[in-house]
Structure 1
Amino acid sequence: MIDILVAGGGPAGLAAAIRAASAGLEAVVVEPRPTPVDKACGEGIMPSGVTALHALGVTPAGRALRGIRYIDGARQAEAAFRGRPGLGARRTELHTTLHRRARELGVRVVAGRVGEVRQSADRVTAAGLTARWLIAADGLHSPVRRALGLERFCSAPRRYGLRRHYHIAPWTDFVEVHWSRHGEAYVTPVGEELVGVAVLSRLRGSHEQHLAAFPALARTLRGLEAGPVRGAGPLRRTASTPRAGRVLLAGDAAGYVDALTGEGVAMAAATASAAVDCLLAGRPEDYPATWARLTRRHRLLTRALLGAAGHPLTAGLIVPAAHRLPPLFGAAVRALQ
């Protein structure tokens, strides 16, 4: 019997499989999409995410990131990371290196999709495969989360993300977050002549329409488009619990607040590894509390920043406050790194 079956072959699913295989367990990943898998994301990996990837034996190619810079018109605030830098890496590069590492360790990747899940006292069956445990890492719109009745209604305003690349040499080694009353634009260096620009907003519209809210940035990038626009959303997702019997949810499938603070990859690797570690210890019942502890700071800080950005009285104060109080802004960035 398979030790751990993983639903979803994105960063969280492959991280879980790598952790399991490294510990001598048989891991099988079920994923419908061919490698490499691309998706809409900011492509900036925080230092904690880089550390987590290195612990898995994964080192994607990309551009070192020195910190975070907030921009609102003429006002700016920036804070450097402490210790290890972050990394700007194409999503396809990240996925390719994770997939390669998983295959090196003997992980089997099966083309398919996990829908119905059946459980008994000692096994779980999904996608025609039977295993001792199932880790659901099937993303923001997790079919496993819905199938198990773990989807919880979320009343928060819906936010959506769009990402596009541009052929231009990066002008900074910081991730730039440009603010407007409509949303944010995240500029991430990902190559010698390539930057990624992700826009997040409550409004629906094209990438070009959203970018128009940042005139100086739009002028810099005009005519330099590279590749298609990819979208994601609604972003906010909540699960009633990250564990149901012999199924553990990891990554975005376990719940997601927003991409605003850029911790998606770090949280994916951390929660996936924690799920496997709880199973290795014979303590699956510990996983919900472990998940809550690992994600608490991220959830609290992201919700607080979202609340400020979404309120008309405070939305325009975020960058001015960060500009006037650099120690506070630096502490916030370091808390998230």
Structure 2
Amino acid sequence: MYKLAVIGGGPAGLYAALEGASQGLEVVLFEKDEIGSNIKCGEGYFDTLKLLEKPEAGICFKVENIIIKMKEEHRIDCAPFNLWMIDRSEWQRGLGEKARSRGVKIEEGFRIGKKELADLKEKFDLVVDASGLVSVTSRAYGFKDFYKDNCARAIQYVLEGDFSHLGSNIKVGVEPHYMGYYWVFPKGKNKDGIETANVGVGLFKGGGKISLVQELQRVLAKEGLESYKILKKQGGRIPIKPLENLTHDNIMMAGDAAGLASPLHGGGIDLACISGKVAVEEALKGGKNYRKRLGSIIGRKFSMERELYRLWEEMEYNAFEEIIGIALERDENISPNLILRYRRFWAKELPILRTFIRGLLKMDWQGNCLEGGK
């Protein structure tokens, strides 16, 4: 029987394990802690390509609107989106139980290093490395510095307090003095009746002199949250560029270990799930087309997000906000004065914004994004 080893019990690893089980493989998943532990995430489950099912466990609520706070507030109606706030620990534990029920052997408290990786390569036909940052494979094959050079930095507090003013909405703030954003993602009340939210700051580029701790403290004051109780402090790096090589011998990289997170906002749950599943599918076909297959599914979305990031980086802040406002408006609400003011931009760059927004609204990024992704 074909034997599959999975390193890491996060979304990519669990989806790889479930796909392996569905294909009739002998699957062993190795998790250094416990499934659902050590979560560092805003916990927004955003299935931008509509390739995944609704989470089976851990849903806090379906997000109604994304509030974008710049100088003004802008709203994106999330009715067409597959976007939920989740308790990721509960969701991953549910996936773990599902995997066990399908015959996956899960080894918790089992840390994989270079020696153990070499053993797995010998004993298993396929290894999926979903170990996150910094990946086990990168240490063994000498490319761990790739992550350092191609990651965003983030800090997050889990706060206890009253977030009822946000309802079933999430909030992001884009400010002029750094390339990044802050977020306030409420989760509602937990099983103990305590209302919480994930509040954080992410810095994508530059800003070496910016203290994330100080920025987050400033954001708490700005949002009126400075008196709220801090339940947990978290920080880390977020990959924003995929690895050039996703295959090393019989090892396939997936999720954060593969550098698969949005280059625009850093979210990566959906990409982790997709890559874990596709890695196993392609390995059973020989593995040569893994990167190409991923590109056929997520490539257009990645390209549009990189282009929007470029506009964000190059444009003056006030102009960028006005352009964002235009992109979110209905065509009939765009005045002739606005067209005249941005006539050069309109011809060259606005189609990028339009395509991006319509991609979100219609979940149609490349004609038929579902082709090859089912």
Q: TM-score, normalised by structure 1?
A: 0.83
What CA deviation, in whole Å up to 9, does each residue of 1:133-162 have, x standing for no partner? Answer: 001111132121332345574796753111
Shift of 1:184: 0.9
Cα distance in 2 for partners of 1:17, 1:314 equals 46
Task: Give the alignment of 1:83-122 within 5 angstroms.
Answer: 83=80, 85-110=82-107, 111-116=109-114
Cα distance in 1 for partners of 2:292, 2:82 equals 29
Name the structure 2 match of 1:177: 172
Name the structure 1 match of 2:138: 145
Q: 2:321 aligns with which of 313, 319, 334?
A: 319
What CA deviation, in whole Å up to 9, does each residue of 1:230-280 have, x standing for no partner? Answer: 111164454221112211111111124557435411100111111111234
Paired positions, count: 325
Q: 2:265 aligns with which of 261, 264, 282?
A: 261
What CA deviation, in whole Å up to 9, does each residue of 1:16-36 have, x standing for no partner? Answer: 101211232221111111232
Name the structure 2 match of 1:136: 129
Name the structure 1 match of 2:229: 225
Please list every run of 5 or more consecutive structure 1 residues that lacks an aligned counterpart in the other structure.
none
Shift of 1:214: 6.9
User: Which segment drifts farther, 298-307 or 17-26?
Assistant: 298-307
Name the structure 1 match of 2:360: 333
Give the structure with higher Rg (CA).
2
Q: Report the aligned-residue RMSD.
A: 3.1
Name the structure 2 match of 1:249: 253
Cα distance in 2 for partners of 1:157, 1:29 equals 28
Q: 2:119 aligns with which of 114, 117, 125?
A: 125
Aligned pair 1:162/2:162, yes or no?
A: no
- Equivalent residue letter for 1:286: N
- Equivalent residue letter for 1:34: E
Aligned identity (percent) is 21
Contact 1:257 1:302 in 2 (8 A): no
Seen in structure 2, the aligned counterparts of structure 1 residues 243 and 235 have a Cα distance that, compared at 3 Å, is closer
- Equivalent residue letter for 2:199: V
Shift of 1:200: 0.5
Cα distance in 1 for partners of 2:360, 2:213 equals 27
User: Which segment drifts farther, 257-266 or 240-249?
Assistant: 257-266
Seen in structure 2, the aligned counterparts of structure 1 residues 29 and 118 have a Cα distance that, compared at 3 Å, is closer
Seen in structure 2, the aligned counterparts of structure 1 residues 84 and 59 have a Cα distance that, compared at 3 Å, is farther
Task: Give the alignment of 1:286-325 within 5 angstroms.
Answer: 286-311=289-314, 313-325=315-327
What CA deviation, in whole Å up to 9, does each residue of 1:81-132 have, x standing for no partner? Answer: 353541111232232222222222221122322232799xxxx7339x7211
Structure 1 residue ranges, 4+ long, deviating more than 6 angstroms after superposition: 154-157
User: Which segment drifts farther, 75-84 or 110-119?
Assistant: 110-119
Greater RCO, CA 8 A, separation 6+: 1
Contact 2:81 2:360 in 1 (8 A): no
Name the structure 2 match of 1:60: 58
User: Which segment drifts farther, 13-22 or 255-264?
Assistant: 255-264
Please list every run of 5 or more consecutive structure 2 residues that lacks an aligned counterpart in the other structure.
190-194, 330-353, 365-374
- Equivalent residue letter for 1:304: E
Name the structure 1 match of 2:371: none
Cα distance in 1 for partners of 2:119, 2:53 equals 29
- Equivalent residue letter for 1:266: D
Q: Which one has a larger percent strand, Structure 1 or Structure 2?
A: 1
Contact 1:235 1:257 in 2 (8 A): yes
Q: 1:210 aligns with which of 195, 208, 216?
A: 216
Aligned pair 1:39/2:32, yes or no?
A: no
Seen in structure 2, the aligned counterparts of structure 1 residues 251 and 21 have a Cα distance that, compared at 3 Å, is same
Cα distance in 2 for partners of 1:175, 1:50 equals 20
Shift of 1:197: 1.3
Contact 1:150 1:239 in 2 (8 A): no
Cα distance in 1 for partners of 2:311, 2:232 equals 32
Cα distance in 1 for partners of 2:51, 2:238 equals 29
Shift of 1:316: 4.4
Contact 1:41 1:198 in 2 (8 A): no
What CA deviation, in whole Å up to 9, does each residue of 1:146-192 have, x standing for no partner? Answer: 32345574796753111112222341323211111233111222223
Name the structure 1 match of 2:368: none
Contact 1:4 1:26 in 2 (8 A): yes
Cα distance in 2 for partners of 1:155, 1:34 equals 26
Seen in structure 2, the aligned counterparts of structure 1 residues 330 and 27 have a Cα distance that, compared at 3 Å, is same
- Equivalent residue letter for 1:325: A
User: Which segment drifts farther, 100-109 or 110-119?
Assistant: 110-119
Cα distance in 2 for partners of 1:32, 1:264 equals 21
Name the structure 1 match of 2:26: 26
Shift of 1:59: 3.3
Cα distance in 2 for partners of 1:206, 1:65 equals 27
